Structure formats: C-alpha cells, structure tokens
Amino acid sequence: MVIKMNYQQNLPQDKRELRTYLEALNLHNPIELEQRADEIITNVRRVMTPYVEGERGKPLRDYYVPAVRFIEQAFEKRDFRKEFPESLDFMIGSIEWE
C-alpha cells in the first residue's frame, strides 16, 4: 500500500513564503524531489507568474525570469540529482538577495 502525503496544505502565497517552502525541501534527496516535482513546479509557477509576466515591474521581471527559466529547464530534463536542486537553490538565493 502506497500512502501519498498531501504537501500542498500550506500553499505559498507570495515569494517570501515560496522561499520558506523551498528551504524546507531536502535538496539532497533526489527521490523526494522527483516525487514532489509537479507540486514544486506548480507552486513556483503560481507564485512567480506576476514577476515573469512583468506585473510587478520590468526590473523584477528581468531579475526573476532567469531563476524561473532555470527551474523550468531542470524540471523538463528531470535531473533531480544536480540541476533541479541547483535551480531551487538559485531561486532561494534570488528571493533572499532581492
């Protein structure tokens, strides 16, 4: 019997909550990242869409598009050992720095 945990009970509502959500992930566990990849990418897209579409202004769009694109590309490659964790770490650092 497989028990699937519902990790989306506390959906991040803004970029700071997204950072906290991403920081709580074990970036060194490729199995967990793969299992939660759809959830993670959905949360990143949902929270970061206003930045990527420029609704928060061009400077923030220019700042966050590379971070979101990095996550999207790593997700498409399904590289949960190296690129996906690196892309999530880059997003965490981007939000922290801004």
Give tens-digit pLDDT for 54-96. Answer: 888 888 989 999 999 999 999 999 999 999 999 999 999 999 8
Place 97 in a pLDDT band, splitting at 50, 70 and 90: confident
- The overall average pLDDT reported for the chain is 89
86 assigned to some structural domain: yes
45 assigned to some structural domain: yes
* Prediction pTM value: 0.84
- CA–CA separation, 96 and 19 (whole Å): 8
62 assigned to some structural domain: yes
What is the token pair recorded at 17? 């909550």
Count up the domains in the chain and report the number: 1
The structure tokens 């769009």 sit at: 61
User: Above 50 in pLDDT, residue 4?
Assistant: no
Type of residue at 32? E
Q: Which residues contact 76 (CB under 8 A, 6 or more apart)?
A: none
54 assigned to some structural domain: yes
Which domain, by its residues, includes 45? 28-97
User: Above 90 in pLDDT, residue 3?
Assistant: no
User: Above 50 in pLDDT, residue 98?
Assistant: yes
What is the token pair recorded at 10? 């506390």
